[in-house]
Amino acid sequence: MAADRNRGYDMEQIIGRFCLEGRPLFWEPYGSGHINRTYLVRTGAGRRYILQRINRAVFPDPVGVMENVSAVIAFLAARTEDSRRCLRLTPTREGTLYARDGEGEVWRMYGYLEDSLCLQAPERPEDLYESAAAFGAFLSQLSDFPAETLRETIPDFHNTPHRYRQLRAAVEQDLCGRAKGAAREIDFALAREREAGALQSLRDAGALPTRVTHNDTKLNNVMLDARTRKALCVIDLDTVMPGLAAYDFGDCVRFGAATAAEDEPDWEKMGLSLEAFETVTRGFLAGCPQLTALERQTLPLGAKLMTLECGVRFLTDYLQGDRYFAVHRPGHNLDRTRTQFRLVADMEAKWNAMAAVTARLGEGKN
């Protein structure tokens, strides 16, 4: 209990850096996240906390991450009296909001949201609606936050043309000799390269407003009230950066309206559920009703391009030898690529229906 033997960290010493209510009695690995190292800490006073080590391989500027996170949390906390409506950072004994250990790793601690629920997959349509509404509300609540003051914790994260440049370099280098076996996927991606830059062009031209976006809008990044199943707050704020509403909406659809898991080996099972797409759209627009007309119009494009971009990233990683995304079987990233491209193709087949749903709900016609 006193150390993380897999990493060699003195957990007792690290936990002791933070101002806890009661003496820490027990801690254990927590959650299903693949990026940061997360622990649940329990104290003798009956309090629970979430301790995390920020992964420097993914976030090379962990202090910049914490500056973003703390600024956004402070902004949200000042606008609600309900402690369960936003994350709360637990300060260190030195009065800071994070601690560095002897190896330079950055640790932070949150108060645990009691009587809450985190789902890996929706158990009913209302769960999906609440998730989308929570992410829409997140954009709405931060509409007055100066987005330009936030750091890009992962530069060019949703710069899709940049992702294509990385793909082309990976194809040309073919470090692992995998390009021939992925020729169909490479052709699919490159055939859509011109359209892939549409959102970035609109952003560069200032046609779409820059907003504070979450950039990882999965269901398991929303905490629900365990009793009412209503959304409490959005979590995992490490990728909060300046961006477009279409980014967050698009990833909501990519995750929530897909008919198969992201890494389903039988990629033919993947498609777009129009019913779930409508649920996501209704929830997102209810949470953020102040989107501009062009923002509403480009929401389906966000769904397609975020899915395409994700497939391009999986494909690039596959060609480079699976350096970024964790893999658990041979060809895992290629399976992921195929499901995403299958979902893109199904969106293209259902494009008119998607646009009709967005137009109808954007006009407030339920």
Tokens for 129, please give them: 């609606």
Q: How confident is the model at residue 34 (pLDDT cuts 50, 70, 90)?
A: low
**What is the pLDDT at residue 10?**
87
CATH of domain 125-362: 3.90.1200.10
> Residue 183 and residue 359: Cα distance in Å, rounded?
37
299-319 helix and 332-349 helix, angle to the nearest 10 degrees? 160
Kindly state the average pLDDT of the residues 171-193.
Answer: 98
Intrachain domains 11-114 and 125-362 with the same fold: no
Report the mean per-residue pLDDT for the chain.
93
> Residue 309 and residue 46: Cα distance in Å, rounded?
44
Strands (E), the chain: 24-29, 37-43, 48-53, 99-100, 106-111, 116-117, 211-213, 222-225, 231-234, 241-243
CATH of domain 11-114: 3.30.200.20
274-287 helix and 125-141 helix, angle to the nearest 10 degrees? 30
**pTM reported for the whole predicted model:** 0.91
332-349 helix and 183-190 helix, angle to the nearest 10 degrees? 40
**Run of H or E including 310:** helix 299-319
**What is the pLDDT at residue 93?**
96
For the chain, give every domain's residue range. Answer: 11-114, 125-362
